[in-house]
Amino acid sequence: MKPSGIRTLLACIFSMNGQFLSAQAPAYTWQDFVEEVADEEYAEQEGWTDAMEELAVLASHPMDINTATREQMKALPFLSEEQIEDIHEYIFLHGGMRSLGELLAISSIDFRTRQFLSLFFTAKIWPSQKKDSTNLKSLLRDARHEVSTRMDIPLYYRLGYSYSAQKGGYQGTPLYHNMRYQMESRNRLSLGVAAEKDQGEPFRNNGGWDHYGAHLMVRNMGRLRTAIVGDYKMGFGEGLVVNTGFTTGKNSVMKRPSQGIRAKRGMDEATYFRGAAATVSMKKADLTAWLSHRRLDASTNDDGSVKTLQTSGLHRTATELEQKRQVGSTTVGANLSWANKGFHAGTTAFYQHFQHALDPGTAVYRQIYPRGRHFGVVGLNYGYSHLWFSLTGETAYSTERGGWATLERLSWKINSRYTLSGSYRFYGYKYYSFYAAALSENSNVQNESGATLRLDATPIDRLTLTAYADFFYNPWPRYTLTHSSSGQEATIMAEYRLTHSDRLAVRYQMKRKERSDQMQLHNRLRLQYTRQQGPWWQLQTTLQLHALDLSGTGWSAAQRIRFRKSDFQVSALASYFHTPDYDTRLFQYEPLLTNMFRYPSLYGHGVRLTAAAHYALWQRRLFVEVLYGIMRYFDRQTQSSGMQEIRSPWKQDISVQLRLKI
């Protein structure tokens, strides 16, 4: 048999295998993906929500795996450099993929990754590539439009609404509202407009909606990789200089933040750029340049200098409205990236100017905060990947105080079942970048050094294991501390697929970390059992423990039920929780609406129920979604404090969302 015939036979076998598996289980969905990658370390990351919205757009417009570029694949943060290289090598050697079932032939693509890829790719062009005849006219002709609106209606009353504006009360209504318009065409042309009003923010005398955003983006037009005007985000290297997306965690399936420039699609009001940016391809190198100007929220000192840059995006009271857009910030920067035969390198630099000087005060923990009006950061990232080995890193320097930062990663794939990786980070307390986000124990890329060792293993079929240990040190006193501090963290996670329909997951974490000059020992345990009951029903039971040596032990039990059939889906989650205090809080991902991501914390003693329903009408062009949540506390008669106080142990809310696709 000729080689081409063998490849055709293998492709057919893989395709039949994929069809056989899909016949036994329902198709993998976007909601499955969100629930699987959600992790409590993303609970308080604004960039996580925006990154998931970007991935949601990519999932709604799958790419052809045979023509997708490396840059397009890098937009999927769960894919490693090695996996991207292996996919392209397979396509080159075999002339393309007839179906995604052929991913079974790539050893570095495991079962979970194949499920993820089924959302973002199709296999259309095989075995020969069609000539690209794309132009603006054809992109506009093939464009898909989506209009959506969401309203959150609280069925409770916060104390802030009972006070007048003169007494510091909320000046708007309790309703949350947003509106979006999104146009996408072949992942090459994108136009988006969004508006949002948070709960408590006034509509009148505040320019209507409190926050507006828009972008126009084109991709892959000759040598022009990407060009964007409006609101955008970006990331380069390891994120020491610029990364306005999410931070890859120590235990996450997300291997790295998205690279390059991309449209801002979410409602984040803090970490993004506004202006223009473009990436131009020059054979084996790409050149990116950007210019941004924004007015930022800030609290000020008596002399007009900036004390604190505010990132909540809330403008409800007179004080919050006074802090709105108080200081202008202009940023100009560039990145040059090069890749060839497994090697890659790049340099990133930017200059930032503030309208008013930053003066954060004299408190000990604030003495390392940036001061002045002019800031510059430059970094060099580098790496090499080949077969079973990869080494990546980045070193950066900030001009304000002459601070240095470096992050190095090493990965060795021992064989097809075991991968050993490690990292070392040093973020000097004099280093600072306003747009940095990278692997760290704390929220800032500053005042931290540490080392991590990790093992990913599949010792037997159906069983996956991940274990890591992290050691960190903070030379300068952090908030609530009067001295330098250190800590350790060790985590082990295991998932075993009992049958094709049943899986059991276990996670244990031990962490020692100082707070208020006291060493705290946290022990966390999570047990989760998931069962696919036929093609329509899915059941999931979760038990969690959080023990803190200074407080006691908190625990929760949760049961989720999901029904999905044709154009209708409903999910419900019931949780019972009992914790001694806030420090022993637990996190539980909830069923939500499309483009809505939340990982709330549970503490105290109570129950919570969340139910979400999705219904598609008019040939799946109109989507009606409803979310209902109810909370009942048994250990208190009021909730929250200050203006946010609710004088009841009950808390109920409803969210309604409409999406129209054309």
Between CA 73 and CA 63 the distance in angstroms is: 9
Each residue of 255-268: b (16+ CB within 10 Å) or e? bbbbbbbbbbbbbb
Between CA 160 and CA 171 the distance in angstroms is: 9
pLDDT of 63 reads 85
Would you state the structure tokens that stand for residue 642, as one six-digit string? 């200050």
Between CA 557 and CA 541 the distance in angstroms is: 8
Between CA 459 and CA 112 the distance in angstroms is: 16
Radius of gyration of the chain (CA): 25
pLDDT of 154 reads 97
pLDDT of 554 reads 97
Between CA 174 and CA 161 the distance in angstroms is: 8
State pLDDT tens for residues 533-566: 988 999 999 999 999 998 999 999 999 999 998 8
Flag residues of the chain having pLDDT under 50.
1-24, 126-129
Can you give the three-state secondary structure of 365-403, one letter per residue? HHCCCCCEEEEEEEEEEEEEEECCEEEEEEEEEECCCCE
The whole-chain average pLDDT of the chain stands at 89
Would you state the structure tokens that stand for residue 423, as one six-digit string? 């990292």
Query: Around Cβ 565, how many Cβ atoms within 10 Å?
Result: 11
φ and ψ at residue 78, rounded to 5 degrees: -85, -5
pLDDT of 248 reads 67
Between CA 255 and CA 76 the distance in angstroms is: 9
pLDDT of 19 reads 45
Task: Supply the DSSP string of 427-494, one letter for each residue.
Answer: E-TT---TT---S-SSSSSSSEEEEEEEEEE-SSTTEEEEEEEEEEEESS--TT-SS-EEEEEEEEEE
The three-state secondary structure class of 299 is strand
Between CA 140 and CA 2 the distance in angstroms is: 43
226 closest CA partner among 264, 191, 193, 261: 261
What Cα–Cα distance (Å) separates residue 202 from each residue in 157, 314, 611?
16, 11, 29
* Residues 455 and 418: beta-carbon distance below 8 Å: yes
pLDDT of 46 reads 60
pLDDT of 21 reads 41
pLDDT of 132 reads 59
Domain ranges of the chain: 1-130
pLDDT of 425 reads 97
